[in-house]
Amino acid sequence: MSGLKSKDLPSQEGSLDPSPTNVTDVAHGVNLDHYRATVPLWKRVWQHSLTQMMLLSVQAFCGPAMSDAITGLGGGGLATPQVSNITNAITYALLALFCFFGGPIVNKIGVKWALVIGAATFPIQGSAYYCNSKFGNQWYLIFSGAISGIGTACWYVAEAGAIMTLAPSGARGKYLALWIVSRNLGQLVGGAINLSKNHVKGADGGVTPDTYLAFIIIECIALPFALLITPFERVVRSDGTRIVTAETLSTKMELKRIAKTMTSKLVMFSALWALWSFFYGVGCFGLGYILDMKHLSQRRRAQIGLYTVVILNVGVYIWSIIMQTKFDRHNPGHIDWEDGLYPSSFLPYFFVQTTGPLSQSYMYWLISSFATDAQENVRNGAAFRSIEAVGQAIAYGMNTQTTSNPLVGFCVTFGLLAAALGPMIMLVNTTPDRIPADVIAEQQDAAREKIEHV
């Protein structure tokens, strides 16, 4: 991590650039009065941490969320099982590989340009689904899987580092809730389209190839929003604190940090949780409220958050297993949305899609509680994303093998949660009472004040 050097201290006199790094003070990292007086409103809005998080959330909706929506509509369903399996295998393999090495890559080129590279690849997957649906062009699906694996990995790592870094310490839960809700809105969009096609009782609907053009347009919108991302050192949080960044490391040192990160207690103890967290198929703001409660220590909030997520997930799993057992005993056939059995059948699926994002939102909040600087958040996020990708691949493989007995999937997921709980409790009980990066920022501010008074 970068130490405090006199050459790194911002000069407040004679500066031609009234950016946050030129208006620091001791108390909060940024002299907000001077900042407001010297920086135009449009620039202050642009550099605000909430604006940057909203820009990321828009990208999450245009990219991963739209990918989920397109997949849910079944454009790839016209591919043969072999092509579909090859495409998914390539996507997950490259996603896991590039996430593993993503930390050094993103720290070298910067979060902004990593997001730009990833956003530029979003429309490729959508166009592949369109071409397959309209022309039966299946080789393009395989090609898009490779490009998507690389581009999405680059974007995921940058996104993970950003979402864990931007928020002020007292609002991390709410910021993460905003992002995770945007990230999962794609399923709502896909579901709404499916409902519009199938709202007549007993009728089956389909999606025309031209429907995918709308999704491709939305995916293209992510790129300009990625270009609006500003470097961390120019971001101003709502509480006036600044983001602690480290010096750029050599490629050799970054590679060494990979091994250190992957073998750290933080990653080792959260690995099973990461695998489990993507085994779900929005109450994230409620969890965000719990994680941001100022009258509790960070460790206590981490403990309450963990038990809240686990209890909700266990409840949903038990409900789902009961319903599946009933269906195994008496197969009700197709259930229409006007049938009396529909609410009790649909609600478990709905809550699985809610508690899954809760689990991820909580994990990113917890990881950010250990960070000493923005670059460490990127490395930790890359490690977590890599393990998530492995979990996705395993879950996909299980789905192809357990279609005859869904209870197997439920039981494996339940067991994985149980296995993950012990290490997570150990990790949560070591959560620092304050974010190390915040403590370091205060120490640097105190050192800066001492130098300025000499």
Does residue 88 surpass a pLDDT of 70?
yes
What pLDDT is recorded for position 223? 95
Task: Say which range, 205-209, 251-255, 295-299, has the weakest mean pLDDT.
Answer: 205-209
Interval 313-336 mean pLDDT: 75
Q: In this structure, how many other beta carbons lie within 10 angstroms of the beta carbon of residue 208? A: 10
Question: What does the pLDDT read at residue 429?
Answer: 93
Q: What is the mean pLDDT of residues 185-191?
A: 69
- What pLDDT was estimated at residue 195? 62
Look up the CATH architecture of domain 41-446.
Up-down Bundle (1.20)
pLDDT 10s digits, 165-183: 888 888 888 888 888 888 8
Residue 441: CA count within 13 A, CB half-sphere: 25
> pLDDT, tens digit, for every residue of 437-448?
888 877 777 777
| Banded pLDDT at 18 (limits 50, 70, 90) | very low
Q: Please state, for a pLDDT cut of 70, what percent of the chain lies above it.
A: 75
Asked if pLDDT for residue 16 goes beyond 50, the answer is no
Q: Which pLDDT does position 444 carry in this prediction?
A: 76
**Other CB atoms within 10 Å distance of the CB of residue 401:** 10
**Average confidence score pLDDT of the chain:** 78
pLDDT value at position 48?
92
CA distance 387 to 65: 20
**In this predicted structure, what is the pLDDT of residue 357?**
74
Give the pLDDT mean for 244-260.
82
At residue 228, the pLDDT reads 95
Q: Which pLDDT score is estimated for 113? A: 93
pLDDT over 90 (residue 114): yes
Of 222-231, 351-360, 418-427, 436-445, the one with minimum mean pLDDT is: 351-360
The predicted structure's pLDDT at residue 203: 53
Q: Domain-by-domain residue ranges, the chain?
A: 41-446
Min mean pLDDT across 102-106, 210-214, 270-274, 302-306 is at: 210-214
In percent, the amount of the chain with pLDDT more than 90 equals: 14
Q: Which pTM was predicted?
A: 0.76
What pLDDT does 51 receive? Answer: 94
pLDDT of residue 293: 81
Residues 326 and 140: their CA atoms lie apart, in Å, by 42
Q: Between the ranges 17-31, 158-172, 192-206, where is the mean pLDDT highest?
A: 158-172
Instruction: Write down the pLDDT at residue 105.
Output: 85
Are 50 and 58 in contact by the 8 Å Cβ rule? The answer is no
pLDDT at 190 over 80: no
pLDDT in tens, 130-149: 888 888 888 888 898 889 88
The tens digit of pLDDT for each residue in 388-426 reads 888 777 776 666 565 556 677 677 777 888 898 999 999
| pLDDT reported for residue 94 | 87
